[in-house]
Amino acid sequence: MIEMKNVYQQYGNDVVLHDIHCRVTKGKVTALIGESGSGKSTIAELLVSLRSPTSGKIERHTSSIQYIYQNPERSFNPYWTMWASMEEALRGLKYPKKQWQAEIVPVLQQLELPKDTWHALPHECSGGQKQRFAIARALLQRPDVLIADEMTSALDPENEKKIIQYLKQIYESRSMAILYITHRFQELSSFIDDVYVLKEGRIVEYGMYERVMSQPKHSYTKKLIEASTYFERKRK
């Protein structure tokens, strides 16, 4: 659905992406894994046309793409209630206004957002709640492609698992393409199909998630898996 070919990105004199080839495919969850500063968000911004590549090609076979930002603080109008932001997401879609409530309520319930936050302003919600509202707003628009940038970073492990489970359910029923961006190899084997590993702006490994986890080819991938395993143990 979206494909990057031979993409380079430069900020000033710094080349932060080198010869990137990657693909986000319908019916698949693709993960992009790399440490902080490796270029993950830059790839996401290029995929959703928030910036243009310095060189190379990006082919998009759909315009129905939603991007869940890493930082939910950036995602909402501070003067609108969360409900108003949900309604705004549905404006312009095919649903008549009287159907909006029936669309919004089950999504907020599935994401376990307490009812008293539905009509709150962004600053009255916690970081984790805002992140869940951002996920709700993206899903309400029924995108063909969902790009989730460190989507669960403000959530505790229990809620992270629940949200991934919910996303998996939705993704299976709608056959979306998902790009799941993260800095660690958490236990996602039931969710992720393919993985790209990004190191200092270069893709150093690509393959099926199970294979990459069990037989990583690149020393950097091994290092990331070890670091994630240690982190997971500490979180439990």
Minimum CB distance to ligand ATP smaller for 181 or for 192:
181
Minimum CB distance to ligand ATP smaller for 170 or for 227:
227
CA distances from 126 to 72, 131, 159, 191 (A): 10, 9, 13, 26
Q: Are β-strands 202-208 and 194-199 bridged in parallel, bridged antiparallel, or unpaired?
A: antiparallel
If binding is defined by CB under 6 A, does position 40 make contact with ligand ATP? Answer: yes
Contact pattern for ligand ATP over residues 7 through 36, marking x by CB under 6 A: ----x----x-----------------x-x
Angle of CA points 210, 229, 163, to nearest 5°: 70
Considering the complex, what minimum distance in angstroms separates the CB of residue 10 from ligand ATP? Answer: 9
Total of residues contacting ligand ATP (CB under 6 A): 12
Write out the DSSP string of 153-194: TTS-HHHHHHHHHHHHHHHHHHT-EEEEEESS--S-TTT--E
Minimum CB distance to ligand ATP smaller for 42 or for 117:
42
Minimum CB distance to ligand ATP smaller for 66 or for 85:
66
Amino acid at 81: T
Considering the complex, what minimum distance in angstroms separates the CB of residue 38 from ligand ATP? Answer: 4
If binding is defined by CB under 6 A, does position 227 make contact with ligand ATP? Answer: no
* Look-up of token digits 């970073």: 153
CA atoms within 13 A on the CB side of 190: 9
If binding is defined by CB under 6 A, does position 182 make contact with ligand ATP? Answer: no
Where on the chain is the footprint of ligand ATP (CB under 6 A)?
A: 11, 16, 34, 36-42, 70, 183
